[in-house]
Amino acid sequence: MKKILIIFLLNIFLFNKSHALIEIDITRGNLDPLPIAISPLHVDIKSENFEGLKIKELGDNISYIIENNFRGTGLFNPLKKEAFVQKPDIAHLKPRFEDWRLIKAQALVTGKLLVKDGKLKVEFRLWDLAAAKEMTALAFTTTPSNWRRVSHIISDKIYERLTGEEGYFDTRVIYVAESGPKNQRIKKLAIMDQDGANTKYLTLGNELVLTPRFNPTNQMVTYMSYFRNMPRVYLLDIETGTQEVVGNFPGMTFAPRFSPDGKKIVMSFAKEGNSDIYTMDLESRVVERITDHSSIDTSPSFSPDGKFIAFNSDRSGLQQIYVMRSDGSGVKRITFGNGIYGTPVWSPRGDLIAFTKMRKGKFYIGVMRTDGTGERLLTENFYQEAPSWSPNGRVLVFYRETKSGSRGEGFSAKLWSIDITGYNERRLKTETDASDPSWSSLLSK
């Protein structure tokens, strides 16, 4: 009885209360980049020197890399350091929030580092300035030469805390480095950090290399190379530098790609003059035919759950994108727009498929849902293709070629990135011309 009475009274109370409350719907906000202050990291005075590293400048350098990463996202606006009032060491202990709010910062990154006994210890804190509280704090210990990676890892952690998505800074991009005139291009396999630093060349350039693709689970790469005019599919371990030939395939072979678990590769090659899609188990080397159609089926790409494969085919006349189950059943056309569609790539988040579209002599990079609806063309140009996803499914990297004269003069190929919203198109700095990029998964995962 008491209970009933209490419930009854509670109901009356709540009913009465909810009735009085004024509600206001906020359905819009601004999409301006979030102003963030990245204070230089304080270098502990006990720090020792280490193999030519300028320890005193390390704090500034790390904060500069973080700043650069954030500016590159288009989502953050790192504020100028000249405006900072508080010194790094004091700010790291307890920031004076009013001072930072004064320069219109909404978040603050502080940190300190110590190099001792051949080890680098970096700690950082992220502060919510409006709430005047710490959002996250972490410390890393590594060899001092790894300081760039530490900067990227810190960037990832901050990015994750502020956006709710995984970061993509501690990653690398593999691409085909090109040099020489257009008709005599030297193509080498190259790899760099996502911010353009630490470029390394993995092949000498004697042979033509094409379509390098990262394994989504580790730092292995598959690519194609022509050896005595015969296409071969290679596997390359980036950490050790070892290479192996997966197989010789007849005729034209295209774009090998890993399955999400990294155990298979899917590719297309021509058998008896007809291009179809095949998978190959990397352990047993068993090749399995997936499509069997008289049309040209190419560019297969697995969905992240491994259940579906997207590919392009000209079975309906013009080249369009199709999706099928990974065993080849249930083929379904998903693009019906005007123009030619190609290079479908399934997003690591699984919600979108990126593609290249050609229409009226222009090339577009776009995204659509996996059923083909909601097509959005992100960028238009004279020639561009081969989109590859950042590991968080937020950014696409692709390459763009410029128009050249009759003798190939003025020709260039560069890497570009764009956010899936269509904003923040940027060129990725590379030492040479570059094409066919592929983005790795997070190294620290």
- Alpha-carbon distances of 138 from 111, 121, 168, 189, 419, rounded to whole Å: 9, 11, 18, 36, 28
Report 40-99 residues binding another protein (CB under 8 A). 75
Q: How far is the CB of 42 from another protein (least distance, A)?
A: 26
Residue with the two structure tokens 């603050």: 108
Phi/psi at 399 (nearest 5 deg)? -120, 155
Taking residues 304 to 343 in sequence order and writing x for each that binds another protein by CB under 8 A, - otherwise, the string is ----------------------------------------
Interface with another protein, residue 373, by CB under 8 A: no
Contact between residue 362 and residue 377 where contact means Cβ atoms under 8 Å apart: no
Phi/psi at 417 (nearest 5 deg)? -130, 155
Name which of 416, 399, 348 is nearest 210 in CA terms. Answer: 399
Considering only residues 28, 46, 285, 360, which one is a binding residue for another protein as defined by CB under 8 A?
Answer: 28
**Local structure of 313: helix, strand or coil:** strand
Rounded CA gap, 189 and 210, in Å?
Answer: 8
* CB closer to another protein, 213 vs 394: 394
Q: How far is the CB of 103 from another protein (least distance, A)?
A: 13
Q: How far is the CB of 231 from another protein (least distance, A)?
A: 39
- Alpha-carbon distances of 371 from 339, 389, 396, 422, rounded to whole Å: 18, 18, 20, 20
Interface with another protein, residue 421, by CB under 8 A: yes
Strand partners, 175: 190
Interface with another protein, residue 425, by CB under 8 A: no
Considering only residues 91, 114, 150, 162, which one is a binding residue for another protein as defined by CB under 8 A?
Answer: 162
Report 201-240 residues binding another protein (CB under 8 A). none
* CB closer to another protein, 162 vs 353: 162
* CB closer to another protein, 16 vs 184: 16
Considering only residues 89, 128, 207, 425, which one is a binding residue for another protein as defined by CB under 8 A?
Answer: 128
Rounded CA gap, 110 and 99, in Å?
Answer: 14
- Where on the chain is the footprint of another protein (CB under 8 A)? 1, 5, 8, 12, 15-16, 19-32, 34, 75, 106, 128, 130-131, 160-165, 351, 392, 394, 419, 421
